[in-house]
Chain A
Amino acid sequence: MTLEPKHQPATFRFDVSGIRNGRLQNLFVSRFREIAGSRPISCDFWSILQSGHLDTLPRNLIVMTDLSKVAGAYQRLDRHSWTRAVRERRLFFFVLVRTERDQRCAGLVDDLVRASDSRFSVWSLTSREEEAREDWVSRAIAAIDPHAIVDIRYSDLRKCFWIQFGDGLSSTLNLKELDLKATGSELLPETVTVSSDDSETVELLDIKGEKFEIDSRSLRALVDPTLAENLKREADEQFAKVSERLRRKRTGLKVSQQELARRTGLEQALISKLECGKHQPRFDTLRKYAEGLGLSIGDLLEA
């Protein structure tokens, strides 16, 4: 049995104490409470960081801070621990460059963005931009990826997975819906977990102990019709782009569909479908199509 998806806003926590300006702190807190609407709770990120007990950090914590403050903390911690904390606790950094002190740390930004899995948004604060501060807070909240998986568990009793996403949507999916048998792998559903590399992948182990990876959007689309529609549109756009490239390459070489069919052994109807974006090309088809035109697959698909 599959339960209807439930939508409960994820509980966000925030820490604005890294902004060394009381007036700005108050403005952020006030706006954050208005926008989040889910009783955001303040949290002392810096004390927990200093204590070294990173595993006690709450999930979905938004840290608003001056760049110099976060850069100093990052340099005192090893990169691996930092990245692990960001991934596991789903931290998000909203970072301001306001003073000369912050500007002197600009060289660390690239490293911080990468070590934080891009969950690190930097804003240069000029007086004009300060007027748009409310917009910054909205963007900080929106930047928390709604499709990422926060938690996934398997119930052996009900033979289903329970999944929760970044925006609070939760649902169950049974094994039949996932149809993992079609993969031909003997999987162990009870080993399911969110990937330690990124929160957009779910991992299971097979009986040989090897990883099997599932994309979070694919799972979400099974319970979220809007995302399913967006993914379909995205796919259609890509296939339209590819079909246009195929047609342009063929006509550029003055080869008719009939001639290409003769050279490749592909049916002309299939070539026509490919060039109309109505058929998802497989490797062997693309290879034959490319060879028929005397091109490599890379040259065939190049813009």
Chain B
Amino acid sequence: MAVFNHKCGGYKIKINNVDHPPPHCHITGGGNIRVSLLTLEPLDPNQEIPPGVKKCLRECQEEMIKAWDKVQQKP
């Protein structure tokens, strides 16, 4: 029921039902990396997106931005 769920290699890309702006997804499966859906860059500049996942993010970008419109944003 999560707003968006996608598997990419050994990683999972997901968008929570409730989350904070800016629009972002979480890459889990070896830590938790928050990635902006608009710039496709990590929100935390100290983190890096695993190389194989970048392609998945580009392919899913439109779908994820669309999904984000359903997220209840807090705070």
Contact = CB atoms under 8 A, between A and B. Distances in A.
B22 A297 contact: no
Interface residues on B, range: 20 to 34
Interface in A244-303: 245, 280-283, 286-287, 296-298, 301, 303
A238 B18 contact: no
Nearest to B37: A301
Contacts of B36: 238
Main secondary structure of the interface of B (DSSP, over half): loop
A114 B10 contact: yes
A74 to B, nearest CB: 15
A197 B28 contact: yes
B20 to A, nearest CB: 5
Main secondary structure of the interface of A (DSSP, over half): helix
A213 B17 contact: yes
B31 A117 contact: yes
Given A198-B28, A221-B75, A215 B1 contact: no
A231 B24 CA distance: 12
A206 B20 CA distance: 21
Interface residues of A, number: 46
B22 to A, nearest CB: 4
Interface in B7-52: 10, 12, 14, 16-23, 26, 28-32, 36, 38-40, 43
Contact of B18 (A206, A213, A235): A213
A171 to B, nearest CB: 13
| Most B C-beta atoms less than 10 A away, residue of A206, A214, A303 | A214
Contact of B21 (A114, A280, A298): A280
| Most B C-beta atoms less than 10 A away, residue of A212, A283, A297 | A283
Contacts of A297: 61-62, 65
B31 A197 contact: no
Contacts of B26: 198, 200-201, 215
B1 A222 contact: no
23 contacts: A113-B30, A118-B31, A178-B18, A182-B72, A185-B1, A213-B17, A214-B19, A219-B74, A221-B75, A222-B74, A235-B21, A241-B39, A242-B38, A242-B39, A280-B21, A283-B62, A286-B65, A297-B61, A298-B58, A298-B61, A301-B38, A301-B39, A301-B40
Interface of A: 113-114, 117-118, 178-180, 182-183, 185, 197-198, 200-201, 206, 210-215, 217-219, 221-222, 228, 231, 234-235, 238-239, 241-242, 245, 280-283, 286-287, 296-298, 301, 303
Interface of B: 1-2, 10, 12, 14, 16-23, 26, 28-32, 36, 38-40, 43, 58, 61-62, 65-66, 68-69, 72, 74-75
